[in-house]
């Protein structure tokens, strides 16, 4: 009788262990899948445009006010029209380190060849780019009430 209880207990422990192992395996698989889904990669041929410059603020406007409007109103509309990702970056070491509170840098991330839909080789807007910038005019006008971002840029292509 005691032997049956021990064997039954071992069988029960083995079944529980198998269930736990299946759950752990399933959780690991889900974790791997979710990591792959949310991982961001930059494709070969993508273009990174680093625009760095200075914000000249209008009277009684703070840099926080300018950035708040820029990133919550202007940038979302710009990214929607031009199919680009924009992120604020901050130089912390090297030649492009932030030197003043009014320095600002934006990284433009275009899918391969996407920039060329809107800009000529010399960096000037083409016809489609002009049309899209015209749609940005209400946002640009509001931004101009706060200040002006004057920048230079370098485009980098992912090899």
The per-residue pLDDT for range 46-60, each reduced to its tens digit, is: 999 999 999 999 999
Tokens of 31: 């974790």
| Whether pLDDT at 121 is above 90 | no
Q: What is the pLDDT of residue 16?
A: 78
Q: What is the pLDDT of residue 138?
A: 97
Count Cβ atoms within 10 A of the Cβ of residue 37 and give its class: 0-12 exposed, 13-18 middle, 19 or more buried. Answer: exposed
Q: Is the pTM of this model over 0.75?
A: no
């Amino acid at each position: 009788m005691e032997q049956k209880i021990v064997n039954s207990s071992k069988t029960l422990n083995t079944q529980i262990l198998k269930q736990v192992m299946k759950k752990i395996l399933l959780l690991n698989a889900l974790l791997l899948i979710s990591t792959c889904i949310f991982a961001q990669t930059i494709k070969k041929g993508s273009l990174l445009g680093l625009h760095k410059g200075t914000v000249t603020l209008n009277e009684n406007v703070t840099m926080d006010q300018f950035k708040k409007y820029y990133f919550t109103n202007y940038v979302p509309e710009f990214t929607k029209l031009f199919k680009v990702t924009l992120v604020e970056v901050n130089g912390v070491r090297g030649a492009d380190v932030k030197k003043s509170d009014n320095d600002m840098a934006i990284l433009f991330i275009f899918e391969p060849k996407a920039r060329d839909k809107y800009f000529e080789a010399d960096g000037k807007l083409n016809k489609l780019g002009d049309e899209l910038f015209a749609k940005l005019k209400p946002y640009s006008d509001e931004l101009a009430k706060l200040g002006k971002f004057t920048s230079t840029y370098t485009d980098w292509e992912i090899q």
